[in-house]
Amino acid sequence: MIRFDHVSFRYDERWVVRDLDVHVVEGELLVVVGPTGSGKSTVLKLINGLVPHFSGGDVAGDVLVEGRSVMGSSPVELADLVGFVGQDPASSFVAETVEDEIAYAMENLGVAPAAMRRRVEDALDLMSLHDVRSRSVRSLSGGQQQRVAIAAVLASSPAILVLDEPTSALDPGAAEEVLSSLTRLVHDVGLTVVMAEHRLERVLPFADRVLLLDGAGGATIGEPAQVMAASPLAPPLIELGRLAGWEPLPVTVRQARRQSGGISGLLGDAAPPRGVDPAGRVVAKVEDLTVAYGDLKALDRVSATFTTGTVTALMGRNGSGKSTLLGTIAGLLGPTSGVVEVSGQAPRQISAEDRICLVGLVPQDPGLLLYAQEVADECRTADLEHHLTPGTTSGLLGVIADGIDPLRHPKDLSEGQRLSLALSVVLAPRPLVVLLDEPTRGLDYQAKRALCAQIRMLRDSGTAVVMASHDVELVAMVADRVVVLAGGEVIADGATRDVVCHTPAFAPQVAKVLSPQAWLTVDEVATALQEVRR
């Protein structure tokens, strides 16, 4: 189906792929895995020719898609064979309504009107979009937009579907839904799917094979369990398997549960640790907070308090009001009714300059906070703006993330490095409350671990951290308390262990394997095992 025939790709002087020789067979679901910046997107774009035809760079070798040479044809010519869904679906929309967007590719390909009509209905059904069929694509939630983008390429019935991080913007439920629709297509009509993804815990159960890129041009391909055995990137399930010495490594929670008898025996009566009750002082609170856009209530009479030295995670579906709550605490939005207070003052009443000394927000795209041409320059400007002693911000950056070249352009940094830089800029004036909006988007496991360390550091220095996240594993690792929002209302608020372990959507993998015992992370289990062995 797809044959990478000794493909090498170089951008400037850096090898992204070197002598890649892989054959993807029909009806296979291949997951491309690798650290950030290892060239996952490049490998995907090689399949329909967006690389090199849209990007430039040096290519050697060729990719053959059903016998057609990609180097010899343009993406336009391959459009009937390969469907491509990029990282940011919202910026790929051409038409106004959902129906027209889905029909767009078929119109270009000259599909007969009667067939087109039927296939649009099929695509709407497959991605559960019939409720929103005549709505504007721009008015949809992130999860719905992702589903529209997939439906739009599926409708033209390509033989191959290529997806770049299809679940990174989705809440756990929506991600599950998208992935199972894809699996159904793979099983039922023999669609070949190639996707790149950072959140391995979500996609591994569905993968037939995994292509692991090492970031230096090398690649390994094989069965998920076999590739994961030696992978530097591993989801909690694999780490748990390694810890317990399971052979072969479990890829699904079900496999792991079958093998977990061993580890439960080893753990014996060791109980999961109880979180210490945080005894901080309240630095931010909302009371009966309602925020409405027009006649739609994004938040509906929400009350919550945030204390020093606590990490609070906001969870909930796409569009449940998490970002709105963060925006209101940060003073970007005013409340429609109710009270918002940060250290006793309404954030909208404070000047922007003074506000950032109380509350700092890192938005979903941390790059938005960065303006300068160089990292060093960015740090210097931050010092000047906040009247800090020169070197404060760059010192902070050194503590948070070591070894970032101060002469690089912020746009050239990896996602993780860019997040660290944005974080140090926000932290420089020492705000009492730090808000993080979806901080793990685009981060690999190593970067995520580094972020966890940074968050713990903040908590220990007495900062109140509030983060909105879909990433259940991140929440399990660092959050002390979880607030679940649904439809703008608080539906659960409590210690992480109590809230997440009892809902399948929010439970981390370790909790699912070892339930009914409420273990959250591999580290907890490892510590307990050491105790037991001693």
Query: Does position 196 bind another protein by CB under 8 A?
Result: no
Do 522 and 514 contact (CB within 8 A), yes or no? no
- The tokens for 247 are 């052979």
Find the binding residues for another protein in span 391-430 (CB under 8 A): 425-426
Query: Does position 389 bind another protein by CB under 8 A?
Result: no
Which residue type occupies 430? R
The smaller minimum CB distance to another protein, of residues 341 and 385, is found at 385
CA 419 to chain centre: 13
> Binding another protein by CB under 8 A: which of 296, 389, 402, 460?
296
3 state SS of 214: coil
3 state SS of 330: coil
> Binding another protein by CB under 8 A: which of 105, 193, 465, 499?
105
The smaller minimum CB distance to another protein, of residues 236 and 347, is found at 347
Find the binding residues for another protein in span 147-186 (CB under 8 A): 152-153, 156
Q: Minimum Å distance from CB 291 to another protein?
A: 9
What distance in Å separates the CA atoms of residue 379 and residue 82, rounded to the nearest whole number? 44
Q: Minimum Å distance from CB 47 to another protein?
A: 10
Q: Minimum Å distance from CB 256 to another protein?
A: 34
Q: What are φ and ψ of residue 519, in 5° steps?
A: -85, 145
Query: Does position 100 bind another protein by CB under 8 A?
Result: yes
Query: Does position 295 bind another protein by CB under 8 A?
Result: yes
Pairing of strands 296-307, 311-315: unpaired
Torsional class of 323: left (φ above 0), alpha (ψ -120 to 50), beta (otherwise) = alpha
**Binding piece for another protein, criterion CB under 8 A, among 190-198, 243-251, 290-298, 522-530:** 290-298
Q: Which residue matches tokens 């970032």?
A: 404
The smaller minimum CB distance to another protein, of residues 216 and 368, is found at 368
**Binding piece for another protein, criterion CB under 8 A, among 20-28, 109-117, 209-217, 413-421:** 109-117
> Binding another protein by CB under 8 A: which of 3, 62, 64, 104?
104
> With contacts defined by CB under 8 A, how many residues of the chain interact with another protein?
81
The smaller minimum CB distance to another protein, of residues 97 and 226, is found at 97
What distance in Å separates the CA atoms of residue 202 and residue 235, rounded to the nearest whole number? 9
Query: Does position 388 bind another protein by CB under 8 A?
Result: no
Q: Which residue matches tokens 């003074």?
A: 354
Find the binding residues for another protein in span 29-68 (CB under 8 A): 48, 50, 54
- The tokens for 287 are 């009371």
The smaller minimum CB distance to another protein, of residues 269 and 295, is found at 295
Find the binding residues for another protein in span 345-374 (CB under 8 A): 352-353, 355-356, 360-361, 363, 365, 368-369, 371
The smaller minimum CB distance to another protein, of residues 82 and 207, is found at 82
**Cβ burial, residue 436 (10 Å; 0-12/13-18/19+):** buried
Find the binding residues for another protein in span 330-349 (CB under 8 A): 330-332
The smaller minimum CB distance to another protein, of residues 111 and 219, is found at 111
Q: How distant, in Å, are the alpha carbons of 88, 123, 150, 164, 322 from that of 157?
A: 21, 10, 11, 18, 36
What distance in Å separates the CA atoms of residue 489 and residue 299, rounded to the nearest whole number? 6
Find the binding residues for another protein in span 298-327 (CB under 8 A): 298, 318-324, 327
Beta-bridge mates of residue 136:
97
What distance in Å separates the CA atoms of residue 522 and residue 112, rounded to the nearest whole number? 54
